A and B are shown apart, each in its own frame.
Chain A
């Protein structure tokens, strides 16, 4: 099952509460999902006049997504306790995903004028012609 020996904060939580790491991972996932959904329910941050902009929603969704993704993969899928080969297998497609995202940039209508030059090496003829 690949359950790893808890250390640090995990160990403290488990010892203090008597609940296992899966329980706490579940709590964290529920909390962040609530936070994620809450981010789009409000137009301003509750109790303030600060407007929740598109950039803030982006930032919240990406950060929460990373935290939730890590929680599911590391604890529920046991990657933290299993041999490293499984983590490497899980991360293998990331290279292709990054290439896809790069492709999105290159194929975007604004790619030539908007992307930094390192993204389009030696393709500056498009703007010089």
Chain B
């Protein structure tokens, strides 16, 4: 079960995934209790007090317009403050629950598999696994995704009814997507089972041009990234195409709108709500903050995953001599903790993004408009990529915690890192285009 050259993995190691899932869920419940229920309920009371004060003032003829305006702003601030804590709490609970289900079920499925009988030579090598054979897991996974997406519209209707958001619940709505999710989990669990014992020997090498001599996994990942560039280019070009027709504040000020256009015809973009001095009049330092923090979070997470890879690949790694030695006492722990840091930063990205969305919706920037639709679809697609990356990272953390990464099998981090850096790269384009311009 240990790292190095011994690649036998005992089934009991998968039990650790179930334990990790429990720990993650506990963190989520505690965070929800503290943020959503604790601070959130206090903020909720403050919001209702501010709301009552504003409504009372509206019916009081002695209150001046200036005071009324002040009370209205206080009500809005109190509402946004409440939303911040409530949405943050609910999001943390939701993502940690999904993490726990993903890791827990994957671990559980593998822990109940029949124990494989491994032959070992004198050096601890496992001859059976010296070659990295092709895997059926990606096909199983894709079949699951296909079924899930086929049933997705009904699944959404079913979930809406379950969450009391309207409609009538019919169990049949959930069947196809649930089968899809089950097959996805089986595919993922099988994939983990195949990858966990892999120690870097027998990486498949391309034998023909143009990637001759290169690792097939790496070449495949780059081709995948290439296709992802096209996906994001589609969102971006759609946005640019639509935006050239909008009479934005900037276009209005520079006389670029159609002759006779009035200020009432100005189209408000997301950046008008978020950017200080934006046309919506709602933007200030605090509205820009989540997007700005997220930008830094992604860059820092790109660096932490580079550090995880560098540490894993290092042959003469030494623990730091400063206070960091408590976090990075040895190579195996250091790799795991750098990956956990990446996971935390990515999770923070999702939480802040949903908090920001809740504020935008509360301010009136909804998905029902063209500018809202392209904003939520593009940034949502990016957020989904981040979230999928986080699910994969859960497994990397698990492997780093059990088998461990070293100079032999560190390419697992490298290949995932390519995807993660691409997500960062996409944000480099999305952030200025949608948030700043």
Contact = CB atoms under 8 A, between A and B. Distances in A.
Interface of A: 1, 20, 22, 26, 29-30, 33, 36-37, 39-41, 43, 54, 57-58, 61, 64-65, 68-69, 72-73, 76-78, 83, 85-86, 88-90, 92-93, 96-97, 100-101, 103-104, 107-110
Interface string B302-337: 110011011001000000000000000000000000
A61 B244 contact: no
Nearest to A87: B222
A1 B234 contact: no
A40 B276 contact: yes
Contacts of A1: 309-310, 313, 410-411, 414
A89 B240 contact: no
A61 B437 contact: yes
Nearest to A73: B425
Contacts of A73: 421, 425
B292 interface: yes
Given A39-B436, A54-B254, A85-B210, A77 B237 contact: no
Interface string B419-437: 0011011001101110011
Size category of the binding interface on chain B:
35 or more
Interface of A is mostly: helix
A22 B250 contact: no
Given A22-B306, A72-B421, A85-B211, A96 B230 contact: yes
A20 B309 CA distance: 14
B295 A85 contact: no
B428 A69 contact: yes
A20 to B, nearest CB: 8
A100 B234 contact: yes
Contacts of A78: 414
Contacts of A76: 302-303, 306, 417, 421, 424
A93 B429 CA distance: 15
Which are the 8 A-B pairs with shortest beta-carbon distances? A100-B237, A61-B432, A93-B229, A26-B303, A104-B241, A97-B233, A54-B250, A40-B436
B305 to A, nearest CB: 8
B297 to A, nearest CB: 11
Contacts of A92: 226
B310 A72 contact: no
A90 to B, nearest CB: 7
B214 A33 contact: no
Given A41-B276, A72-B424, A97 B240 contact: no
A30 B296 contact: yes
B277 interface: yes
Nearest to A92: B226
Interface string B392-429: 00000000000000000011001001100110110011
Task: Pick the most buried of B223, B234, B277, B299: most chain A CB atoms within 10 A of its CB.
Answer: B299
Contacts of A96: 230, 233
B288 interface: yes
A58 B437 contact: yes
Contact of B310 (A22, A30, A41, A110): A22
A92 B240 CA distance: 21
B295 A33 contact: yes
Nearest to A2: B414
A22 B307 contact: yes
Given A69-B425, A72-B425, A93 B230 contact: yes
B263 interface: no
Given A65-B429, A104-B241, 12 more contacts: A1-B313, A1-B410, A22-B310, A37-B436, A65-B428, A72-B424, A76-B424, A89-B219, A89-B223, A90-B229, A100-B237, A104-B240
Contacts of B431: 36
B8 interface: no
B79 interface: no
Nearest to A107: B241
A93 B233 contact: yes
Contact of B226 (A26, A37, A65, A89): A89
